[in-house]
Structure 1
Amino acid sequence: MDFEPLPSAAGDATADETPPGRAVCSSGCGRPSTVCLCPYLPATPLPTSTTVVILHHPHALRRNPLSTLPLLARSLSNLRLIPGRRLLPSSAPVISRSPVLLLFPSPDAADLASWCRSTPPPARANPTLLLLDGTWKQAKEMHAASLPFLSSFAVPVSLPVDCGVDGDSMFEGELVVKKEPHKGCVSTMEAVARALRLLEPEGRGEEIEETMVGVLRAMVAFQAEHLQHRPMKPRVKMRKKKDIKREEEMKRNTLDWSD
């Protein structure tokens, strides 16, 4: 599978979409100048002993205005991005470093923190962290399609997720980019940050996590400010056909009685 360069954030539709003539930052983040995140990004991409590989759905950037991939790509140096709907054996050279950890909240996934505690340091040095990026529906489809290839060697792991509770992150509520299906589900960038805290050498992991979380926190703050001042049109309530039919019948009956 061939690599595809990640499009600039300026080339995608975003919540703060750039109209013609509006100044755009050209220093690195590609966002409108009024919401530039360059001051929050690391001066140079952060080096990590963990190789982060992300299979991102072809629509993840074009149709997801809140995608964190552009910022993630500017935050980490040891990052590999693969566009596609599934991983195939042709992707093996990209994810050849062992162990390969598939970070996805599946029923058979072990808690990443527990896996780190139970695995001797030499056996978990220089790991490959594999993630799937897209909507939750897309990610589930990508996971199912990739399992025939991954199940023979990848270790399924996850961050804490409570599938019995709707809602926000278990880490910081202010980092929630959008409504998540279950408590503990996070954006791709936050998932990478939390995982690197555990996988990177002691001390270094916390530093990397804090830098990445700082970028994400700034992005969410800009988004919240944008929504606060954005006039919201009332949403048209969709009516069911049977309700419309019932109302029409009632009107006809009323007219019949009045004649």
Structure 2
Amino acid sequence: MDFEPLPSAAGDATADETPPGRAVCSSGCGRPSTVCLCPYLPATPLPTSTTVVILHHPHALRVISRSPVLLLFPSPDAVNLASWCRSTPPPARANPTLLLLDGTWKQAKEMHAASLPFLSSFAVPVSLPVDCGVDGDSMFEGELVVKKEPHKGCVSTMEAVARALRLLEPEGRGEEIEETMVGVLRAMVAFQAEHLQHRPMKPRVKMRKKKDIKREEEMKRNTLDWSD
């Protein structure tokens, strides 16, 4: 699988940074030994004809080839990816480039809005097939859900890549690639679920809205006025 490297505004820091003194896997994944993903990773990189580009911030993206460029994002004008594959002749969809926006959904929307004027000049907006009977969580498998998603059909970046490659890869390779990637994601979610299960839950602090605070302040002032 060919991922285009892009500069990151956040540097090389990741959510899996390990505190000093903690055992780390030295075989390849670099994660803490207790949540090592190496047993779930393929022995060799998965060969794909699809180039996957994940944008971590809205930097300009240089078009490298004449192959089709697909922007995977659930926008109102996005074409169903399965429909696009069926309606596009094989020569016209060979060796595509798949663009994804990585971040929280709020960040992804901001990146989409900022990048669209540039990307719309050459990229085809596409989205994954959506099961309208599913509201919120992953539309595929409950065990792949890391957190509640905001809209129907929303999935994690990794799951989106896996599902898209199932449709895009030729000669039946898509299902094998999807199965491998989903297996890794399933292991990651299981590790996270196990961690959350044994972590003491702290009570959530209820955030008060500004208008509620303002109303309370006005009531206090009125009370003082009456007392005078």
The two structures have a TM-score, normalised by structure 2, of 0.81
Preserved contact between residue 135 and residue 153 of structure 2 (Cα < 8 Å): no
What displacement does 1:12 show? Answer: 7.3
Change over 3 Å in CA distance of 1:166–1:12 after alignment to 2? farther
CA offsets, 1:108-131, max 9 Å, x none? 110000110111111111111111
2:13 is matched with 13
Contact in 2 for aligned 1:53/1:95 (Cα 8 Å) = no
Displacement after TM superposition at 1:160 (Å):
2.8
Q: Helix, strand or coil for the counterpart of 1:102?
A: strand
User: 190-199 vs 233-242, which deviates more?
Assistant: 233-242
Q: 1:134-174 deviations in whole A, cap 9, x for unaligned?
A: 12122122222222222222111101347997410111111
CA distance 1:8–1:37, change in 2 (3 Å): farther
Which range is displaced more, 192-201 or 145-154?
A: 145-154
Bigger mean CA offset, 121-130 vs 219-228: 121-130
CA contact (8 A) 1:168 1:183 kept: yes
1:220 Cα deviation from its structure 2 partner: 0.2
* TM-aligned CA deviation for residue 236 of structure 1: 2.2
**Inter-partner Cα distance in structure 2 for 1:52 and 1:123:** 17
- Give the CA deviation at 1:95: 3.9
> Deviations for 1:172-226, whole angstroms, at most 9, x for unmatched residues?
1111122211121111111110000001013210000000000000000000000
Q: Does 1:147 align with 2:116?
A: yes
* Unaligned residue ranges in structure 2 (runs of 5+): none
- Equivalent-residue separation in structure 2 for 1:185 and 1:256 (angstroms): 52
Aligned residues: 225
| Structure 1 match to 2:55 | 55
Displacement after TM superposition at 1:239 (Å): 3.7
Q: Distance in 2 between matches of 1:11 and 1:22?
A: 22
From the superposition, tell whether residues 227 and 7 of structure 1 become closer, same or farther in structure 2 (CA, over 3 Å): farther
Counterpart-to-counterpart distance in 1, 2:96 and 2:225:
77
Q: Which moved more, 1:139-148 or 1:44-53?
A: 139-148
Is the CA contact 1:169–1:185 (under 8 Å) kept in the aligned structure 2? yes
Q: How does 1:1-259 map to 2 (within 5 A)?
A: 18-57=18-57, 95-161=64-130, 166-240=135-209
Q: CA deviation at 1:54?
A: 1.4
Q: Percent identity?
A: 99
Q: SS of the residue aligned with 2:2?
A: coil
Distance 1:215 1:2 in 2: 18
Query: Given that residues 160 and 170 in structure 1 are in contact (C-alpha distance below 8 angstroms), is that contact kept between their aligned partners in structure 2?
Result: no
* Structure-2 change in CA distance of 1:19 and 1:166 (3 Å): same
**d(CA) in 2 for partners of 1:9 and 1:133?**
13
Of stretches 94-103 and 218-227 in structure 1, the one that deviates more from structure 2 is: 94-103
Provide closer, same or farther for how the CA distance between residues 194 and 210 of structure 1 changes in structure 2, counting only shifts above 3 A.
same
- Give CA-to-partner distance per residue, 1:47-92, whole Å, 9 cap, x none: 1001111111399xxxxxxxxxxxxxxxxxxxxxxxxxxxxxxxxx
Secondary structure of 2:39's partner? coil
Cα pair distance change 1:7/1:156, threshold 3 Å? closer
Q: What 5-or-longer segments of structure 1 have no aligned partner?
A: 60-93
Distance (whole Å) between structure 2 residues aligned to residue 249 and residue 156 of structure 1: 50
Cα drift, residue 99 of structure 1: 0.8
Q: Is the 8 A contact 2:81 2:126 kept in 1?
A: yes
